[in-house]
Amino acid sequence: MGALFASMLVATALHLAGCTAGESGDNTFSLLSAGKTANKEGAFVLMDTYVSYSLTAGSQQKADDVCLKITEVGDRLENEILSRHVAGSEISFLNEPSADGTKKGISDKLSDYIDSCLTLSRISGGAFDISLGALSDLWGIEEAVKNEGTDYFPPSDEDIQAALEKTGYDKIRSAGSKIALPEGMILDMGAVGKGIFLDEAGKMTKDIKYGIIAAGGSIRTIGYKPGGDPWIIGIKDPTGQSGTIDSVELTGDYVISTSGSYERYVEKDGVRYHHIFDPATGYPAESGLSSVTVVMDAEYGNGLLSDALSTAIFVLGKEKGLELASEYDAGVILVTDDGEIIRSGLN
């Protein structure tokens, strides 16, 4: 991936410039000691997962301020906009049945997020689809995970076909910031919530020199590690047998998203049912992949995009997934059900 390689080169060049400026000691340390820094680490719960962060700024006050801002931005996103489980959020408002089918007004932000999702739905041939809420509810995987699989029964094929009737991104009618869903349709932003959070949090981090924010399977890097080393993002072994099976080294501002069938699933009578659905069948996607990691430059909007792409590629499988990744100049690491690791667009 050209862009990734270019930024790594830029980072190296800056690093060397720091040394030739006459600072003493070992390269990496001298760069950091050139300015006063303060680090802030912490974690909070967001969208049913943990957000953990490590952020280094020029002063403790700046580091503290950024942490407060990213916590607040996450809270607002979940409760005021994205969660379909919070009454009063914009998505809940959209999901409420409307008697006459008239369009409802939503914020420009949500309108932009939905537009980006619909564009990816079209480009991925429908593999990515935020209109699958009725299907997610029917399968109830999240609920089953919370109950540790107790008394879980997969839905009948008849019920799956009936839920599928209530899905379909191409049935959503929108004009500007007004939108109408067909009867029974439920929007589910679960595939992009963490990526959107990273985009919004990223707008608050101009005072951060080096940092990392990890929201469930989505991560944003800023610069490099305090100390000068690249960030190393481990790729989890989908089988759980070993901790990590691969890694990606990043220096610069990136977003990384992973979708995996091992993340949320329930087993019944020896069959695993996971949380990523194939909109064409209504069943958990079986594309031969068990994990998909997408790496992109952290430009505005790429948190959403990398999060959505990892889900889309998981559904599409290896060949079509690699094509889609290259259309977006995204780096990917795919792990197949047989344990093969495929890297593309990364150094």
Site string for ligand AMP, 191-220 (x = CB under 6 A): x-------------------------x---
CA dist 184 and 131 (Å) reads 10
> Helix 193-202 to helix 60-76 angle, to the nearest 10 degrees?
140
Distances (CA, A) of 254 to 5, 88, 136, 215, 307: 12, 33, 30, 14, 12
Buried b or exposed e, range 43-66, using 16+ CB within 10 angstroms: eeebbbeebebbbbbeeeebbeeb
The answer to whether 27 and 19 are in contact (CB under 8 A) is yes
Does 190 interact with ligand AMP (rule: CB under 6 A)? Answer: yes
Nearer to ligand AMP, 224 or 314 (CB): 314
**Using CB atoms, what's the residue nearest to ligand AMP?**
190
CA dist 316 and 127 (Å) reads 6
The answer to whether 290 and 335 are in contact (CB under 8 A) is yes
Instruction: Give, in degrees to the nearest 5, the angle at Cα 100 between 107 and 93.
Output: 30
Nearer to ligand AMP, 217 or 223 (CB): 217
Does 276 interact with ligand AMP (rule: CB under 6 A)? Answer: yes
Does 225 interact with ligand AMP (rule: CB under 6 A)? Answer: no
- Burial of residue 24 (CB within 10 Å: 0-12, 13-18, 19+) is exposed
CA dist 29 and 6 (Å) reads 24
Q: Which stretch binds ligand AMP (CB under 6 A): 32-40, 79-87, 128-136, 173-181?
A: 128-136
Does 313 interact with ligand AMP (rule: CB under 6 A)? Answer: no
Q: List the single partner that 187 binds among Mg ion, ligand AMP, none, CB under 5 to 8 Å by kind.
A: none
In the chain, DSSP finds a helix count (H) and a strand count (E) of 11, 15
Residue 257: both structure tokens together: 């998203």
127 contacts: CB under 8 Å, gap ≥ 6 = 278, 279, 280, 312, 315, 316, 320
**Rounded least distance, CB 216 to ligand AMP, Å:** 8
**Rounded least distance, CB 265 to ligand AMP, Å:** 10
CA torsion 208-236-230-41 (nearest 10°) is 30
Does 129 interact with Mg ion (rule: CB under 5 A)? Answer: no
The answer to whether 307 and 195 are in contact (CB under 8 A) is yes
Nearer to ligand AMP, 225 or 275 (CB): 275
Does 113 interact with ligand AMP (rule: CB under 6 A)? Answer: no
From 311, 316, 325, 333, residue interacting with Mg ion (rule: CB under 5 A): 311
**Rounded least distance, CB 323 to ligand AMP, Å:** 17
Nearer to ligand AMP, 159 or 263 (CB): 263
From 89, 251, 259, 293, residue interacting with ligand AMP (rule: CB under 6 A): 259
Does 261 interact with ligand AMP (rule: CB under 6 A)? Answer: no
Nearer to ligand AMP, 55 or 192 (CB): 192
Does 191 interact with Mg ion (rule: CB under 5 A)? Answer: yes
Q: How many residues bind ligand AMP (CB under 6 A)?
A: 19
**Rounded least distance, CB 242 to ligand AMP, Å:** 21
Sites of contact with ligand AMP (CB under 6 A): 128-130, 132, 136, 188, 190-191, 217, 259, 263, 275-277, 279, 307, 310-311, 315
